[in-house]
Amino acid sequence: MIFKALYLEKDNSGFRAGIRDLSDEQLASGAAAGDVVVRISHSTLNYKDGLALCNRSPVVRNWPMVPGIDGAGIVESSSHPDWQPGDAVVLNGWGVGETHWGCLAQKARLKGDWLVRLPDSIDARDAMAIGTAGYTAMLCTMALDRHGVEPGDGEILVTGAAGGVGSVAIALLAGRGYRVVASTGRADEADYLRALGAAEVIDRALLSAPGKPLQRERWAGVVDAVGSHTLANACAQTRYRGTVTACGLAQGMDFPASVAPFILRAVTLAGVDSVMCPMADRREAWSRLAKELDRSLLARITSEIGLGEALAKAEALLAGKVRGRIVVDVSR
């Protein structure tokens, strides 16, 4: 059967991206390692997808490629013992859209070991409104829990607050009773961030320039999706025995910091990886998202586009002009 997909090619004549009609035979060839075929109903655009679609970074490792690190839909066929036709599933990460054909398409051939069963209360569209960004935000919340950060311990800083990770992190943490401070470079998004639960909104410029190794203690915990000087300053401002979760690099991959917060204030820097995260943690994250995320807030966080709009929207995403989450309805 024929299905539509975003298709990326790169060769001696250059880089090309566009909507293509693909066949089941091409899917089997391009995603040969998969043992489950999923009819994708919704995907999403993450920052990494934007980089791939715009050829801005070596995200794609095999060519040609169907991008899309997230997908949700219904199992069409399976040779994996855990999955049967009709099962509702969600996929995040595992190198999909990088080394293995991804989910910005109407079908994806995936490994059954990568799939998570969708909780009954979450449909495919809401799953992609959450997406890798929201699932990562929950992994950060789980890390704060593991390190004993409680609402009574003090304020939680969320950087890159108007982005996907930040938006969901604010909603999750505020919903659990934390006082959340949102850092953003977009002052016009202050009302949006407060509507999600932020108690205070600060200018990212307060964190994004080089700072002292130790600064006034403020944060009991941090969710950082920015990296570079922002992460270094967040660590320098974290209170004794506080925890900083690091999950992104929007400002940069560097970490121009000192060991002082870690050896003088016993601050924990907890790395959060969504791509190769163990299955037990993935299942816990999705189970908790089903229970803890106020999904009435997803309407504020989410915009929806069709598959044919993804290329233009990817440029806006990389330019920092997109708020929250972008759901891609692959049927249009």
Contacts of 11 (CB under 8 A, 6+ apart): 63
pLDDT bucket at 56, cuts 50 / 70 / 90: confident
Assess whether the region 2-118+297-329 and the region 133-271 belong to the same CATH fold.
Answer: no
pLDDT at 276 over 90: yes
Contact 300, 322 (CB under 8 A): no
What pLDDT is recorded for position 31?
A: 67
**Ramachandran region, residue 115 (left: φ > 0; alpha: ψ -120 to 50; beta: rest):** beta
In the block, residue with structure tokens 């009435």? 296
Task: Quickly list DSSP for 55-104.
Answer: T-STT--SSSB---SEEEEEEEEE-STT--TT-EEEEE-TTBTTTB--SS
Task: Quickly list DSSP for 207-234.
Answer: HHS---SS----EEEEEESSBHHHHHHH
pLDDT bucket at 47, cuts 50 / 70 / 90: confident
Instruction: Fill in the DSSP letter of residue 105.
Output: B
Average pLDDT over residues 243-248: 97
In the chain, what are the helix, strand and coil shares in percent, each to the nearest 5?
A: 35, 30, 35
pLDDT bucket at 169, cuts 50 / 70 / 90: very high
Query: What is the distance between the alpha carbons of residues 201 and 187, in angstroms, rounded to a whole number?
Result: 8
Q: For residue 22, which of 110, 99, 107 has the smallest C-alpha distance?
A: 107
What pLDDT is recorded for position 199?
A: 98
Contact 84, 75 (CB under 8 A): yes
- Sequence spans of domains, the chain: 2-118+297-329, 133-271
CATH topology (fold) of 133-271: Rossmann fold (3.40.50)
What is the dihedral angle through the alpha carbons of 36, 37, 39, 43, rounded to the nearest 10 degrees? 70
What is the CATH superfamily name and number for domain 2-118+297-329? Medium-chain alcohol dehydrogenases, catalytic domain (3.90.180.10)
pLDDT at 45 over 70: yes
Average pLDDT over residues 257-270: 98
